[in-house]
Structures are given as structure tokens and as C-alpha cells.
Structure 1
């Protein structure tokens, strides 16, 4: 029952991930299921992560979906991204606004908007 509530709470973000994943599949990408999470790679997911996000990234989590540039990138980033899955389960639809807010606060304090973000510090295993 608790897991069902966590999945439901994270579902608005998961839906966004599923929509992006569908576009990825339609553009030559692939999907796999690992540890109860859908992982999309290639196609539009690769374009999004390589070109549309500053600096490019290997993977990105949206609820119970993970977008990756390739299967190898997903293998490398999986443990980190699954910490974000747990964060989405705790924060639900508030996760994305909270994540952006933490990046703004870090930047405002003269720190790195990505690496010093509270959620990233937790996912990297740093003191948060």
C-alpha cells in the first residue's frame, strides 16, 4: 500500500517522463525496465540530454522514469538516478519546483547551481 501511494504521489512527474519516453521511442529510442523503473534511451532522450540541457548530462529522472543518452550511460548513472526516484517519492509534484529553488539558492550563494543543489548532494552521497 505504501509503495502504491509513493508511485501515485510521484505520478505527475512520471507522466512527463513517459511522454518524453514515448517521443524517444518514436524517434528511434528504446525502453527497458530496471529496478521497477522505466528507462528510456536514445532518440529524442539523447537529443534532449545532449543538446537541450546546458553542458549535457548522462541521465535525468522524472518520477519513476529515467531518461538516458545510451544504455551504458544508464548503467553508469543508475544508482545516482534511483536516489532521485526516492526523492520524487518523498516530494511528489513538489520535487521539480523544490529542485529549481535549491539550484537558485545555491547559485545566489555563489555556489554551483547543479553540484551544490541539495538534491544532487544527497544523490552523490555528500552531506546535505
Structure 2
């Protein structure tokens, strides 16, 4: 578990990703959405609303219940179970650890899985770790 200073450094290190997440989340909030602050293992901003429902169900990589950008979790209204939230908070922690390099590291892990003939999502090391976090509840 991170100390107070570790949390602060993680927030600063992931700030560019979080700013992008807030930019993506702004139209969701402005169109009948809402914001909730979550602090479990890592501080996060949870954004939900009809636009999130629409976009996540039509995501180019396939329908999903939630996605994380920095310290921002964008989720559907009906798909955010405690298991999904824990999974996404694991990604928040990963983003705090990797900072602006997280999207590149995530893509590299997916590419490495593909090169080895495996599934880019299910064999991505970041997704494996997030699924492992789900099992601890």
C-alpha cells in the first residue's frame, strides 16, 4: 500500500493521463452524468452517465462496463459491480505507477501477447494483474 507521499507522487506522475480522462469525461458529466470520488487503494474520479453508457457499449475494442484513463474511471450505470470497480482501481494504481508511460506499456504488453500467439487482452500483464485484484475481494 502506498504512503501519503506515494499517493501524491502517483497522482502527479499520472496527471497528464488524468487530465485527458477528465476531458473525455466532461461531456458525460454535462449531459446528465454525475461524478463520484472513490478512495480505496488509489484515489479515483468515477464518471457515469448516458453518454458513457452509449460510448462504452460501442467501444472500438468491444463493449465494456468501464475504462480507466489516469485516475478517472468512466463506467456504465448498470455494469459497475464491485468486481468491475476493483478491476478499474487496479488500473488506476497501474497508471499511478507507470504515469504517462502507461498507455505505451499497456500496448506493448498487448503486442507482446500477440507476437507470442496469445490474446492481446486476456494475456496482457496489466489485465492479468487487474483480474487478480478482483479475486481478492
| TM-score, length-scaled by structure 2 | 0.83
**Partner SS state of residue 119, structure 2:** coil
Q: Which runs of 5+ in 2 are unaligned?
A: none
Q: Which residue of 2 aligns with 1:86?
A: 93
Q: Does 1:68 align with 2:68?
A: no
1:74 Cα deviation (Å)?
5.2
CA contact under 8 A between 1:68 and 1:74: conserved in structure 2?
no
Which segment drifts farther, 24-33 or 8-17?
24-33
SS in 1 for 2:117: coil
In structure 2, the CA distance between the partners of 1:71 and 1:18, relative to structure 1 (3 Å rule), is farther
From 99, 104, 119, the equivalent of 1:97 is: 104
Kept in 2: contact 1:37–1:65 (CA 8 A): yes
Between Structure 1 and Structure 2, the one with more helix by share is 1
CA shift, 1:52, in A, is: 2.5
- Residue number in structure 1 paired with 2:9: 5
Q: Which SS does the other structure have where 2:126 is aligned?
A: helix
Partner of 2:121, secondary structure, is: coil
Q: Can you list the C-alpha shifts for 1:26-46, whole angstroms capped at 9, x where unaligned?
A: 222221112131101123322
The TM-score, its normalising length taken from structure 1, stands at 0.89
